[in-house]
């Protein structure tokens, strides 16, 4: 079971990271996320997908055509699973 306080603290660190580092420096963001314990989960040139297994967090970073950060989505694993479930009527 994940420590929710630790999960929230890490989410805040990630948000601060995106506020501090210029959006254009994808490599620096990726290095800093790795330093925080995130591991890469895919190889798509338009999206960087990483997860933090211990804190059960997933981050997806959109990259524009110029190689700059277009946006990101940071989710706990539980929310990611809900997001991926098919909608039922």
**Number of domain units in the chain:** 1
Enclosing domain of residue 34 = 4-84
Q: The domain spanning residue 49 has which CATH number?
A: 3.30.160
- Residue 66 is predicted with a pLDDT of 85
Whether 89 is covered by a domain: the verdict is no
Whether 74 is covered by a domain: the verdict is yes
Which residues contact residue 79 at a Cβ distance below 8 angstroms, ignoring those fewer than 6 apart? none
Please answer whether residues 55 and 46 qualify as being in contact, where contact means their C-beta atoms are separated by less than 8 angstroms: no
The pLDDT profile of the chain, 89 residues, written as one tens digit per residue, is 889 999 999 999 999 999 888 766 888 999 999 999 999 998 788 999 999 999 999 999 999 888 888 899 999 998 887 877 776 55
Please answer whether residues 58 and 74 qualify as being in contact, where contact means their C-beta atoms are separated by less than 8 angstroms: yes
- Residue 5 is predicted with a pLDDT of 96
- Residue 41 is predicted with a pLDDT of 93
Beta strands 69-76 and 39-40 are: unpaired
């Amino acid at each position: 079971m994940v420590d929710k306080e630790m999960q929230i603290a890490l989410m805040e660190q990630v948000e601060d990271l995106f506020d501090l580092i210029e959006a254009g420096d994808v490599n620096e963001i990726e290095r800093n996320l790795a330093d925080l314990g995130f591991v890469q989960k895919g190889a798509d040139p338009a999206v960087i997908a990483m997860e933090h297994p211990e804190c059960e967090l997933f981050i997806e970073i959109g990259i524009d055509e110029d190689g700059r950060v277009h946006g990101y989505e940071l989710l706990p694993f539980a929310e990611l699973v809900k997001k991926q479930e098919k909608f039922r009527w």
